[in-house]
């Protein structure tokens, strides 16, 4: 008799992203693998006409879906398309248009409402264009600050994930000339706290080791190439050491060149490209963007709308598919973390069982 408890399949929402980008193509390619239905119930926030438009250009991919207008009609054994609009929409792949941004926002707003109402458990977002989506209801530099605002301005962290590489950022979409003014001791400590917590509850690492990168070349060369390391970053690390295992600051170029990232569970970079250039070089097209610190789970691929290849059946769905699995994994990890905290005896029993099993195996040698 199988005593394994049945794990509830989470309901995962998918935003369509910019209608003229590669978002819907990625959704079709990923969800055409029906084996994914063994792990989740997918809900695409879009319109069946949009899916049909892109399906025509993807003849080798087969995706069957149920078209629904509300969650009472949800089909747990099939891909679901929640129609967020009924009107005909002009789709022009590869072009940045007001229409592309307008309906990307409609999709995103519907998905966030579903999260708030507990209709879906997690969210995977397709890429948006940060300029054409701007409107009175979206005055943000991307998904991350929008979701922060939507869920009560909870401080969060942009965290890029690929296998055992987890890259977090102190600053995100700000210009290089403005980066310095956002690098403060308080900000670094805040981001380290979120990263440490996420590594525990979202990745199951009991005592995570975190590396912090320097801001300046050669970690400032003892103040010769900038004093931020001495005056800001080192004091932030020193104070954070009271709550976590954190080390640095490390010179970013030598850190990755020497493979030091492999010795840590998480890395905190000071600015966007400092973290994302090595991350994308090491992730081999399967990196995932995860917004840590939010009360909900949201992941996305680590790339943009790719207008240059939109509608040409050239988009690689590797990162998008990885985002789906990471969203599901984090949901289960959070549930496991909550269960352990509610009943700490489970953890003790699990460790005792593991020890007993090891002794039994040793006796069989």
Q: CATH no. for residue 246?
A: 3.40.718.10
CA atoms of 162 and 154, how far apart (whole Å): 25
Expressed as residue numbers, the domain containing 218 is: 155-286
Number of Cβ within 10 Å of residue 55's Cβ equals 18
Residues 145 and 166 in one domain: no
Q: Which of 286, 314, 346 is the last residue of a domain?
A: 286
Q: Which of 257, 286, 315 is the last residue of a domain?
A: 286
pLDDT tens-digit map of 318-363: 999 999 999 999 999 999 888 877 665 555 444 444 444 343 333 3
The predicted structure's pLDDT at residue 223: 85
CA atoms of 114 and 271, how far apart (whole Å): 32
Residues 183 and 281 in one domain: yes
More confident residue, 163 or 118: 118
**pTM tops 0.75, yes or no:** yes
Answer whether residue 9 shows pLDDT above 70: yes
Whose CA is closest to 195, among 146, 161, 153? Answer: 161
The predicted structure's pLDDT at residue 4: 40
| Bond preceding residue 255 cis, omega within 30 of 0 | no
CA atoms of 273 and 131, how far apart (whole Å): 20
């Amino acid at each position: 008799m199988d005593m394994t408890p049945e794990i509830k399949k989470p309901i995962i929402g998918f935003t369509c992203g910019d209608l003229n980008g590669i978002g819907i193509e990625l959704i079709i390619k990923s969800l055409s693998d029906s084996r994914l239905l063994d792990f989740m119930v997918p809900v695409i926030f879009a319109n069946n006409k949009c899916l049909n438009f892109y399906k025509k250009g993807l003849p080798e991919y087969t995706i069957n879906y149920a078209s629904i207008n509300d969650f009472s009609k949800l089909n747990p054994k099939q891909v679901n398309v929640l129609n967020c609009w009924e009107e005909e929409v002009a789709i022009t792949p590869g072009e940045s248009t007001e229409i592309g941004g307008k309906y990307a926002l409609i999709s995103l707003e519907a998905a966030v409402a579903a999260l708030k109402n507990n209709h879906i458990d997690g969210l995977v977002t397709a890429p948006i264009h940060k300029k054409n989506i701007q409107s009175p209801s979206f005055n943000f530099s991307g998904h991350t600050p929008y979701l922060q605002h939507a869920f009560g301005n909870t401080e969060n962290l942009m965290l890029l994930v690929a296998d055992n590489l987890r890259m977090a950022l102190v600053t995100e979409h700000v210009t290089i000339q403005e980066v310095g003014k956002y690098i403060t001791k308080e900000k670094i400590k805040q981001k380290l706290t979120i990263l440490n917590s996420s590594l525990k509850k979202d990745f199951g690492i009991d005592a995570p080791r975190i590396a912090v990168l320097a801001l300046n070349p050669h970690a400032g060369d003892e103040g010769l190439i900038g004093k931020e390391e001495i005056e800001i970053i080192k004091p932030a690390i020193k104070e954070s050491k009271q709550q976590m295992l954190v080390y640095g600051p490390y010179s970013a170029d030598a850190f990755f060149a020497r493979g030091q990232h492999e010795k840590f569970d998480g890395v905190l970079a000071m600015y966007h490209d400092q973290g994302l250039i090595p991350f994308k070089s090491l992730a081999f097209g399967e990196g995932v963007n995860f917004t840590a610190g939010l009360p909900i789970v949201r992941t996305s691929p680590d790339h943009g709308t790719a207008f240059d290849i939109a509608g040409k059946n050239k988009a690689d769905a590797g990162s998008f598919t990885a985002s789906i699995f990471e969203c599901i994994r984090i949901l289960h990890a959070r549930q496991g973390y909550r269960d352990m905290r509610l009943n700490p005896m489970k953890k003790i029993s699990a460790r005792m069982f593991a020890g007993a099993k090891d002794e039994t195996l040793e006796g069989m040698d």
